[in-house]
Structures are given as structure tokens and as C-alpha cells.
Structure 1
Amino acid sequence: MMKESKSANFTQEDLSFVPPSIDSASLLSGESYAYYTPVPAAITPHGTKSENGDLLESTPCVLGVDEAGRGPVLGPMVYGAFYLPLDLHHSLLAEEHSFDDSKVLTPGVRANLMRLINTPGQKLFESCGYAIKSLSARDISSGMMRTGTAVYNLNAQAMDATIEIIRGVVRDRSVDVREVYIDTIGNPATYQQKLERIFPTLKITVAKKADSLYPCVSAASVAAKVTRDVALEVLYEAVLRAKQAEDASETPETWGSGYPSDSKCVGWLRQNMDPIFGWGNECRFSWGTAKEMLETKGGARVDWPEDDEDGNGRLDQLFISGSGKASGQDGLRNWYGNRKVEII
């Protein structure tokens, strides 16, 4: 059941808030990207000097990591890292703002918390920082659909995203992180051992349901979830604009949550599948839902020519007749203007 929190005084402005972690250009081009907030004023990084040149003591911090969007067939998978001073961990996040697993907070509460995190003058803004790694549907699929030993599975991509954002905070921004808490779906012990080898100076705890156990992971969950939700809206609006440019009277159905279990999502995929290209950068082609739909709905098969001894393929071999033999000049002659495929 979704619940409210002490930060539940949200408005319509909160629900329409677009956080700075949204990179529309990267989302629309199918690129993965990372985003980092500036180190907040309440945190003194390693190596900071005073006005008279004295080295200042760094601020001990805690950092949490969580993801949103691991299972959907549409949209990015987003990893979030959230950090703040150790002495504020529970008092600020748990007591003042009642952060919790993003899945049990209402959309309005999540949006309000995300706005507060990004609003100058608010204590959350002045004391907390966060990082986002958005893995695009296109990049997720291209990694998973490699062959043989080159396969880059989802767990490996998730691990690399986690390592990247921790390094981005600890090494690149010199934040004195002492404790790290991470939510996991797989084996916590194995995951933790891998990270401890990479970050031997950090106290790392990997646990299932960490987003409901550790406030910094709850906050990371909110940052990741809100970023993914807004990213999905950006992608859908782009698809909607493209459809309406073709037919201004058309009002395509929504794609829902983007999960394969969502009937709206499956219905949208069926109605918007191109027989040649499938879908756009918003879709994870490596998901069973997409693969099955392409196979059962008559997705066009392309036979690529084999290279000759010099590594070059002949152009006329790109055009294959129904019998599987090269159609030569007929194929070249029909290259323009004969694309007609029906979807049944």
C-alpha cells in the first residue's frame, strides 16, 4: 500500500517537476548517461583548504544505492546514489522527511521529496547530494543480445552502473564516504564481496530490501524512481508528437507503466510495431515480450551477405528472393518504393 509522509504537502507543481537528472537529448537519442549534483554546502570534500590555506577536515558521509526500472520492456533502467553527512542520516531522512522505499510512497510524495532535494535553501538540498546513471533501453538490449562470451547481461550492466556512480562521488568529487548501503536482487554476499574488492576502504553493506531498511537507500530509490518516471514521460511525449505529425487526429493509447505485465504496455507494443524496425529507442528488444511479438507478428527477416575473400559483400546479395536465392538486378531495381508489409 502506498503511503504519505511528513513531506506529503505536495502540489501539482511537484507532480510536473522535471529534475535536473533528466537529459532529454540523451534519452531521445537512445544514449545512456550519468548525472551528478554539485557537492552540497554541508559537506567538506577531501583536500578542501580554508581561506588561509589550512587543510580542512572532511565530512564523514554515508551513501546509499538503489535502482528503478529493472523489469520494464520500455524505458531506461536508472541507478541512483544518494549521500549525506553520517550524523544526519537518520534524523534528516527518516525523522524529518520519512523517506521510505519509493514503491510504497505515493507519486505525489516522491515528486515532492525530489523537488525538495533539488531546491536551494531547503535542508535536503544543502545537506544531500545524489548521482544518477540512466541505462538506455537500446544499450541494455545491445549488451544482452551480443553472442557468445561477449554477452553483457543485465546483472553485469547493473554492477558496472553501481561502481561508476560510487566512483563518481568518492573519487571524482572527493566525498569522504565511510559507509555504503546497497539494495540487491541477487545474492547479497557475492555482490558485496565484489564491491569490497573494488572499494577496500569503504564499509559496504549489501542487503535485500535495503530500500526499506536504510534511509539513504530509500532516498536513492526515490531519486532513481522519479528520474525514470519522468524519463518515460519524455520518451512517450516524443513518440506522441511523431504520431500526431503523421496524423493530427490520431490519439494513440498510453503505454502504461512500461512493464510486460501491464496490458496497456502490451497493447501499445502490438499497435505500434514497425514490421522492419520494431520500435524506437524506448524499447528493450532483448525482452521476451518484444522478441515474441516480432516473431509472431511477422517481423521482416533480413539475410546479410557473406563477405568474399577480401572481406567485401556484393550489394546485389542484399536482395534475397522468396526462395532464398539472390535476385540480382531485380533486387536492385526494386530497392526504391516497394516497401509494403502487412501486419496481421
Structure 2
Amino acid sequence: MIYACAYCPVDKQEAYRKRGYRDSKDVKPAERDRLFAALLEDPDVGFRSRIVSAEEISNANYSHTENRNLNEVSYDAATGLNRDVLATGINLAELYVDALGNCATYRATLQRLFPGICTIVVESKADVNYPIVSVASIVAKTLRDGITKNLPFKECYITINRNYGNGYPSTPAVKDWLMRNLDPVFGLLSAVQFNWGPVKKALADPKNGVKRVTWEHTMGTPEHKNKMQTKTKSIFETPVVTR
């Protein structure tokens, strides 16, 4: 996932609406590329982005120490972008945020975190209603498309077919790609978000041949528990010799 923010002088916002900046979902790829390229040459606008990888989202969701859902990851990304902009010395007078969950609660949180910002608006369809959010939407979507097309896989030791289309889990191309890259022992590649509905369904379906793993320390019999405790004790009591 890509999160982006954009900033410009308050009196320049409407100019971006006239130049064609709107919700990125309503803009064709070639036009998005053109609009993004124009931003790179525009002295009145700045933007920042935050890439949240599928692996990071999976780790946050399944962490034993700090289980965070996608909304919380999104909040952290958005507030982090605001902090980054403020840290550069930019004077943010107004803040417009596309809705993430409960708008009123989110707005109250932002007001507490950024008391120096006079106007804070959090609402659904902000990328439609506010030109500067439309600019950020174009940035995020353009970067996402580029990264998805050239997705870096950690698994460099195998040949990976890249016919996964736009990368959205609900599309047939992605569903087909998931099944073709499903390993019965290791599951799926690190670029896959493991808490996606289609992914969890694929891993749980016996017809896909996924192996069930029983971890020794989770088995309930006293014999197994004692055996595991003995193993752990022997590991920690093994002397370490240094020279």
C-alpha cells in the first residue's frame, strides 16, 4: 500500500482542480502519469509518500507483541507523513484527510497530535472534494502502479511469473497467480499480504495440498511439554567458550 500527502500554498489549491487533478480512480493511467510528471516540475507543490509493504502489514497483523490492524497501520502512515512535512519547516495551516474509519475520532486524534494546524478536515471522498487531496491521490496511485509492475521479490533464488495484473486481490489475475505460486509448506511469497481473505482461504483449503504444521511446544500432553522444557533448558545451559 502507498500513502501520500501533498502540500501547496492555500490560495493555489483550486488551480489543481482546473489542471485536471481529481480522484485517481477516475483518471486513466496515461493521464495519471502526465499529471504526476507535471508535479515534478511544479515549484508550488510538494509531496511525500510512505510505502507499507505486504510483509509489514502481515507482520503487524500477526505480531505476538503488538497486534495492529490495517486501520492502525494507516493512521501511523498518515500521521508520520504529516510529521515529516512539519519537520521540514513547512507551515501547515489546513489539513485534509481522506476518511479512514471513524472520521470524528480520527479528526480528534489529529487535532491532539497537531494542535498548531488551524483547520483539520477528515471525511469520506476527500480525494474528490479537495484538490490537494486529489493531488496526493494521483501521487499514491502512480507510485503504486510503478512499484506493482516492478515488484521486488525477496525470493531471488526462484523464477517468479509476474502475470499478477494490477495486484488487487479481488481480480482474477491475482487469484490465479496466488494459486500458481502456492507452496504446500512455505505458503506464499513475501510480497503477499497473508491476512487477505483470498490468501487465508487458499491456505486453509485442503484441496490445495497445504501441509498442516503441528509445533511441538503447542501439543497438550505432559510428555511433550516436559520434553520441550528439557530441550529448552539444555540449550540455555550449554556453556559457551570464548578465546
Give the match for residue 286 of structure 1: 195
Runs of 4+ with deviation above 3 angstroms: 236-242, 309-314
Give the match for residue 204 of structure 1: 120
Tell me if the contact between 2:153 and 2:191 (Cα under 8 Å) persists in the aligned partners.
Answer: no
Query: 1:1-344 maps to which residues of 2 (within 5 A)?
Result: 77-91=1-15, 93-95=16-18, 97-118=19-40, 122=41, 124=42, 126-147=43-64, 150-170=66-86, 172-202=87-117, 203-235=119-151, 242-243=158-159, 252=161, 254-296=163-205, 297-306=208-217, 307-308=228-229, 311-312=232-233
Tell me if the contact between 1:111 and 1:226 (Cα under 8 Å) persists in the aligned partners.
Answer: yes
Instruction: Count residues with an aligned counterpart.
Output: 222
User: C-alpha deviations, 1:123-161, integer Å up to 9, x for none?
Assistant: x2x1111110110000101111235x8321001100010
| CA–CA separation in structure 2 for the residues paired with 1:212 and 1:145 | 34
Counterpart of 1:81 in 2: which secondary structure?
strand
Tell me if the contact between 2:194 and 2:200 (Cα under 8 Å) persists in the aligned partners.
Answer: yes
**One-letter amino acid of the counterpart of residue 226, structure 1:** T
TM-score where L is the length of structure 1: 0.60
| CA–CA separation in structure 2 for the residues paired with 1:271 and 1:89 | 46
Q: 1:260 to 1:313 in 2, by over 3 A?
A: farther
**One-letter amino acid of the counterpart of residue 78, structure 1:** I
Tell me if the contact between 1:184 and 1:206 (Cα under 8 Å) persists in the aligned partners.
Answer: yes
Counterpart of 1:235 in 2: which secondary structure?
coil
Tell me if the contact between 1:305 and 1:313 (Cα under 8 Å) persists in the aligned partners.
Answer: no
| CA–CA separation in structure 2 for the residues paired with 1:240 and 1:212 | 40
Q: Displacement, 1:303?
A: 2.9
The CA RMSD measured in Å over matched residues stands at 2.3
Please, which moves more after superposition, 201-210 or 301-310?
Answer: 301-310
Counterpart of 1:138 in 2: which secondary structure?
helix
**One-letter amino acid of the counterpart of residue 145, structure 2:** D
Identity level (%): 33
Q: Displacement, 1:259?
A: 2.0
